[in-house]
Structure 1
Amino acid sequence: MKKLFACLLVAAGIAGAPAAFSQAPSTGLQPVDRIAAIVDEDVVLRSELDRAVANVRSQYSGRQVELPPEEVLERQVLERLVLQKLQLARAEQTGVRVTDQEVDAALGNIAQQNKMTMDQLRAQVARDGTPYEDFRASIREELIIQRMRQRFAQTRVSVSESEVDAAMSAQQAGGVQYHMAHILVGLPEGATPEQIETAKGKIEGIQGLISRGEMDFAAAAVRYSDSPNALEGGDLGWRSADEIPPAFAQMISQMQPGQVSAPIRGSSGFQLVRLVEVRNAEQGSGAQMVTQVHARHILIRTENAVADAAARSKIDTIAARLAGGADFAELARAESQDPNSKPNGGDLGWFVPDQFGLSFGSQLSALTDGQVSAPFNTDAGWHIVQRLGTRQTDAGEQNRRAQVSDVIGRRKLEEEWSRYLREIRGEAYVVDMRKGIPTETPAEAPPATTTPPNG
């Protein structure tokens, strides 16, 4: 079906003519936008590609010398657009949606961050040469891909307590952060021996160019890397040891700033890694003691005045049963309308008193351990709460564990997401209509020879 779709487009001559026009009754001749690439059942228009290339060039304003030749730059940008189309198609297939209200909120945040009104943002977008509706559509697409990544993380990424313990022990032994960059020569899943040998030869050729001083690392990344961050010179930013794949962490810790690794075979292909800088990670400033309470509650929800009266009557009945000796946990399992705590007998665990709102917190603060409150009302409905205990705890320790878990999760997500992108790219039928042939390897191959050129 995908190939049939491509063949129909080619047969129709949609992208073949260098200057195609259509006759419009009221406006005369109008140029027809050409197709730059076919991506399964979608297309990348020539105007999209030109606009994306122009955006990259504007980002390198004053540093144009760092960009690769036009043909290479266009190929890199086209590959980004192809991946974007594939991600959006998968998002649609899996039911990922973003509402108009969410897009409006995102645009409002962009305006606020740039200290603009919405009218000023629209004017700025127009000055940049982009129709506002196209800009709005691009924001929607970014939100869709972001949401799909979030769903992906929830289903494919998990961090165990033992991983957090090990990472925190390593930090206590001396936290260090590394600023790194990389060049990737990608390999598909189940690569053949011939593909592996070709990729190995390519990464060795790139290494030769860098080691001989014919090209610096960032320029080589822009020109040859298959990584999505190729146009940023392969820059990976600052990372702690927890954010570096274990296979690379030991090697990085033994490198000196400015040093480039030998070719490394990883899950995504062959890589060269450059250590840019090293710094000591900031450590916590000691214990941050806070008071936590352990409590359980029974909730009867309200939505309007009629429901509020019925809820008040029901919660009063429950209070009377508790006063008569009924078991709190059994009543919570039977009557509470809080789906999260109901299976646990209303148990909310340990938390800071105001975590569930000031009204809830003030009720807890007025109780002694073991005491049950009178019925009280919040925005959620009518409650009865029992304070089970209090303790002093180091919130800083909990925050640090949460931060470490987040760091490990981001590293795992990056690895899994890169693998997923290679998977959907490998399965896609992509035709570069600038050439009229399927495209498999987006990045340019470096010179095969390791001998310096004459002169």
Structure 2
Amino acid sequence: MKKLLACLLAGALFAASVHAQQLQAIDSIAAVVDEDVVLRSELDRAVNNILAQYAGRNDQLPPRAILERQVLERLVLVKLQAARAASTGVRVTDQEVDQSIAGIAQQNRVGVDQLREQLARDGTSFEDFRGSIRDELLSQRLRQRFAQTRIAISDAEVDAAVAAQANAGAQYHLAHILVALPEGVTADQIALGQKKIDGIKALLDKGEMDFNAAAVRYSDSPNALEGGDLGWRSLDEIPAAFAQIMRNLKPGEVTAPLRGPSGFQLLKLVEVRDASQAGPSLVTQYHARHILVRVTPTMTDAQAKAKADTARARIAGGADFAEVAKQESEDLNSQSRGGELGWFGLDDFGADFGTVVANLRDGEVSQPIRTPVGWHVIERLGSRQQDVGSDNRRAQVREQIGRRKLEEEWNRYLLELRGEAYVEVRGADGAPVTDAASDASGG
């Protein structure tokens, strides 16, 4: 849940104002993307968000023109994913957008009204922000559908990965720089890609640029603006062709250029840790169900509280909790299951929610409680100590393999999507420009 909210927040702030409501007279088009456009105001706000994230570390960013090109490319991909999602029947409801915004506000320890005021101070209208959240949700749904239809994991793969983890507990923190090659690549394109990746490696070897800055400036990967960071991975999460190379690297070292499915890569081993000695990882999990009444522009806090009080009174009077949840709860994920939330950790639904559940007895129903999402009535059904390091290992390994496969296939899919689209980049004067990417060798 937290990772989802963090992802939504980063994407929303990055792509703010995708649906600009009031355009300034000086606004212009930064890029035409099929039947849509990226406005200059959108690009400027997105670049300013990146500059704010790198406050005090501006030396890690490329020159403004190159940064704009990187950011514009991301905005183009957001547009393309949202359009593809819409054209294939992927939908996001207003209620789901409201729920995501409430979660973002909660993560920032503010209310929705305070978030609205903060956006206004930053020069972003709330409707623009809602539009960017909707596009991010559409992109996520598209990615989920892609995973369901394109990614398959066999039991044999999981067995092999579990065995590999038992024999080698090392985990590797990696970063990469990608020089992408298109489908049906020509010999000239391969040669140009090889020249560019060799030039980047030469800069790193001479110490003229650190790896993170080179990734921001030159990488074609979607995570370029994060310095190419790939996070922690076990060997089964690293493509087999690269796994042996990782074993032979020392922290801080960078590989020679490698040819992979998406193009040429440089991999950096940031650090290594040993996870093989980790014993049982016991956590307390809770089983509960709830009724949620949301606070929205059409449902005031007082009205939502009154509705939650009524639901609580019905349950106290003998009504079945599940039936009341089906009738009254506004949590679309659990409503049809009678408010059933399954087993979850203390902080999975926020600290306030978790504290109430932890203080209830099994079978006890809470008084209505307020969270940034709205008013909840909660029934605790049980608790347990769960060894997530043992009982869930196969599920975790399956998820790891799925993430690795999805990353490889999704990046290729985005390259295909971008290659098929009509994209016309325009300069500050509105005239079309050639978006010729310079390589690190100076060519």
Which residue of the other structure, out of 145, 148, 154, is the alignment partner of 2:148? Answer: 154
AA in 2 matched with 1:427: E
Aligned pairs (5 A) from 1:8-407: 31-281=25-275, 285-286=279-280, 397-407=390-400
Question: 1:314 is matched with which residue?
Answer: none
State whether residues 92 and 137 of structure 2, in contact with CA within 8 Å, keep that contact through their aligned partners in structure 1.
yes
Question: 2:422 is matched with which residue?
Answer: 429
- Please, what TM-score do these two structures have when normalized by structure 1? 0.66
State whether residues 430 and 438 of structure 1, in contact with CA within 8 Å, keep that contact through their aligned partners in structure 2.
no
AA in 2 matched with 1:430: V
Task: Quote the offset at 1:271 in angstroms.
Answer: 0.6
AA in 2 matched with 1:149: R
Question: 1:411 is matched with which residue?
Answer: 404
AA in 2 matched with 1:431: E
Query: Whole-Å Cα distance in 2 between the matches of residues 64 and 395 of structure 1?
Result: 41
AA in 2 matched with 1:404: V
Query: Whole-Å Cα distance in 2 between the matches of residues 124 and 287 of structure 1?
Result: 40
Query: Whole-Å Cα distance in 1 between the matches of residues 419 and 166 of structure 2?
Result: 42
Cα distance change of structure 1 residues 281 and 445 upon mapping to structure 2, 3 Å threshold: same
Moved more, 268-277 or 127-136: 127-136
Query: Whole-Å Cα distance in 2 between the matches of residues 283 and 100 of structure 1?
Result: 47
Task: Quote the offset at 1:448 in angstroms.
Answer: 4.3
State whether residues 260 and 272 of structure 1, in contact with CA within 8 Å, keep that contact through their aligned partners in structure 2.
yes
Task: Quote the offset at 1:396 in angstroms.
Answer: 6.0
SS of 1:31's equivalent? coil
Task: Quote the offset at 1:128 in angstroms.
Answer: 2.4
Query: Whole-Å Cα distance in 2 between the matches of residues 272 and 33 of structure 1?
Result: 39
Task: Quote the offset at 1:447 in angstroms.
Answer: 2.5
Q: Using the aligned pairs only, state the percent identity.
A: 64
Query: Whole-Å Cα distance in 1 between the matches of residues 148 and 127 of structure 2?
Result: 32
Task: Quote the offset at 1:227 in angstroms.
Answer: 1.0
Question: 2:17 is matched with which residue?
Answer: none
Query: Whole-Å Cα distance in 1 between the matches of residues 267 and 388 of structure 2?
Result: 37
How many residues are aligned here? 319
State whether residues 72 and 444 of structure 1, in contact with CA within 8 Å, keep that contact through their aligned partners in structure 2.
no
AA in 1 matched with 2:251: P
For structure 2, the 5+ residue unaligned runs are: 1-21, 283-342, 344-362, 364-385
Question: 1:301 is matched with which residue?
Answer: none
Q: CA RMSD in A?
A: 2.4
Query: Whole-Å Cα distance in 1 between the matches of residues 248 and 431 of structure 2?
Result: 47
Query: Whole-Å Cα distance in 2 between the matches of residues 253 and 95 of structure 1?
Result: 44
Task: Quote the offset at 1:397 in angstroms.
Answer: 4.3
AA in 2 matched with 1:416: E
Query: Whole-Å Cα distance in 1 between the matches of residues 201 and 65 of structure 2?
Result: 22
SS of 2:231's equivalent? strand
Task: Quote the offset at 1:444 in angstroms.
Answer: 3.1
Could you report, residue by residue, the CA deviation over 1:391-415 in whole angstroms, capped at 9, with x for unpaired residues?
Answer: xx99864411000000100111111
AA in 1 matched with 2:64: E
- Please, what TM-score do these two structures have when normalized by structure 2? 0.68
Give runs of ≥4 in structure 1 deviating > 4 Å.
393-398, 435-441
Moved more, 130-139 or 53-62: 130-139
Could you report, residue by residue, the CA deviation over 1:188-220 in whole angstroms, capped at 9, with x for unpaired residues?
Answer: 011000000000011001111110111111111
